[in-house]
Each structure stands twice: as structure tokens, then as C-alpha cells.
Structure 1
Amino acid sequence: MKAVVVYDSAYGNTKSVAEAIAGSLDGLEATPVPVGEFKPEALAAGDLLVVGSPINGWRPTPKITTLLSSLGSGSLRGVNAAAFDTRVRMFIHGDAAKKISHALKAGGADIIAEPMPFYVKGSEGPLRDGEIEKAESWAQSLLTSLGR
């Protein structure tokens, strides 16, 4: 079983979270992959796909949205999946992770965790204190959901 953590990142914050998640998936061959380099055909049933994006106009970035729309119904059948986003802590904001999670489920993936937000300071970051540790902990919870 392998894990692929696909991300798009404008200022490096989402990339940092993706790397922390991949680095904490102990026992899995885990790789953080920029969205433009992701090859969906490399996934097999039982693998883990984690997709992350900054919130961009209340939704995932256009690159992540394009990737998700290219995954046909059933193309992720048997793949375990989870989603995250990076966002500014505000009274009102978008929810890219929830939209990603819905798209992964529509592609046939088995969603193994609630969508997870990670917070940045201001629109460009850096990440708020404790967010990398939160990403590492969330990765451990994904392993638990996989029975590892």
C-alpha cells in the first residue's frame, strides 16, 4: 500500500502541510506530489490519496478543481481518501477541503476522515503555530482509520 499526498500551493503553506502529512504516514510509501505531476493511474485499490489545496475564491484552486473533475465516476473505486485545505481564520471563509472530499467520493473513493483545515497567518502565511504538528497528528489518525 502506498500513499500519495497531492497538493497545490500558492505560498508554500499547503506544500508544507502536505510534506508533514506524507512524512508522518509511517509504514506507507508516502510521497507529496504537486498537482501537475500527479498520475491517477498510479493508484491501486487500497492505496491512500490525500488531496490538499489553499482556499481560492471560496473553493479549491483551479488546478485541483481540474484534477478532481478529470477523475471519472468510479475511477477511484477501492482507493482510500482524505482532504485538507489551508485557510485564514476568519468569521466566514470557503471550505475547499469539503468540496475536495465530495469530489473524491464522487470519483468512487472511500473517504476515511473528515476534511481538515489548517490555518495560516494572513493571506500569504506562514502557517499558524502548531499547524505542522496538527498535520502530523492528522496523518496518524489516517493510519488508524486504515487499521495500521
Structure 2
Amino acid sequence: MESAVVYGSQFGNTRQIAEAIGRGLGPEARVLEAASFSPSQLRRGSLLVVGSPIVGWKPLEGLGAWLDALAPGSLDGVRTAAFDTRVKLFIHGDAAKKIERALEAAGAERAADPTWYYVEGTEGPLLKGEIERAEAWGRSLAGGQ
């Protein structure tokens, strides 16, 4: 199965989660910043995982622009999953659900419910065990082909 993890990251925490998900998906998974990735690189049946930190109750601006640029039908036949990183004490938005809605508007099929990973503060670090949890999620996504 072809798979890609596309992310936006502000302080590196979301990048670390994206890389962990990629490891869980397997050695062929590509992990890229959104600006470096085009959905045209995917075929039907591919898996696309997209993530962002929550910034102002929504995805990071650069990833938001990438999502806004997705054309209707550009993800037809592509399975997708969304995640975000957030501070555990405050639920200040839900980037993962906004990402999921944008992916589905582009024609994607949901491979898993949106999920989130926790950081200690705005700049991190990630809470203990989040990297391992992200790798396990990647493995479960790979198993659901």
C-alpha cells in the first residue's frame, strides 16, 4: 500500500508525531511537510494521513491553505486519516476534525476517526508515550488496508 503522512508543524511536535506514524506505516511511507506534497502523487487505494497543531481553533495556517487548495475529487479513491497536536489542559479547537472535513470534501474515504496527541505546553514537549501511541496508530492504519 502506498502511504504518505503530510503535516504542518510549528515547534516540531507535530513533525515528531508524523514521523512516528510514518514508522508505524512501514518503510515505504513518505513523511512530508504539506508545502512539499501534491495529492496528484497518490493513486486510488493510497493512504494519506494529515496532521497539524491546533492554532487559533484550527489547523496551522500553511496546512490550512494546502487543505483549502484541494480540488473537489482530487482525493477520490484515497483513504485518509487526520490528527492534531494539542495542549492537554486546554481544548482550544479541533484541527483534526477540520482536516478530516476538508479531506472528505476533496473526495477522500475515511480510514480512521480523527485522533490527537498531547503536548505539555504550546511549544511542547510531547507528553510521555505519545510517540509510541503514534507509531501504534500508524501500524493499525497499515493493517486496515
| Per-residue deviation, residues 24-76 of structure 1 (Å, max 9, x unmatched) | 113x6201101111122111101111000000100001111111111111110
Query: What is aligned with 1:49?
Result: 48
Report the CA distance between 1:91 and its aligned residue.
4.4
Residues in 2 aligned to 1:10 and 1:66: alpha-carbon distance in whole angstroms: 15
- Separation in 1 of the partners of 2:136 and 2:87? 20
* Matching residue of 2:16: 16
- Residues 1-148 of structure 1: matches in 2 within 5 Å? 1-26=1-26, 29-146=28-145
State, as a whole percentage, how many aligned pairs show the same letter: 53
Counterpart secondary structure, 1:15? helix
Q: What amino acid is aligned across from residue 23 of structure 1 in structure 2?
A: R
Q: What is the Cα deviation at residue 145 of structure 1?
A: 2.1
- Asked whether the 8 Å contact 2:54–2:93 carries over to 1, the reply is yes
Which residue type is aligned with residue 104 of structure 2? K
Secondary structure (helix, strand or coil) at the match of 1:29 reads coil
Q: Please report the RMSD computed on the Cα atoms of aligned residues, expressed in angstroms.
A: 1.1
* 1:85-141 CA distance string (max 9 Å, x none): 000012432100010011101110011101010000111001000000110111122
Amino acid at match of 1:89: K
| Greater RCO (Cα-Cα under 8 Å, separation 6 or more) | 2
Give the structure-1-normalised TM-score: 0.94
Give unpaired runs (5+ residues) of structure 2: none
Deviation at 1:2, TM superposition (A): 1.2
Q: What CA distance in whole angstroms lies between the structure 2 residues aligned with 1:36 and 1:92?
A: 27
Is contact 2:56–2:92 with CA below 8 Å preserved after alignment?
A: no
Structure 1 unmatched runs, 5+: none
Please say if residues 85 and 118 of structure 2, whose CA atoms lie closer than 8 Å, have aligned partners that are also in contact: yes
Q: Distance in 1 between matches of 2:16 and 2:112?
A: 20
Q: What residue identity is the alignment partner of 2:95?
A: A
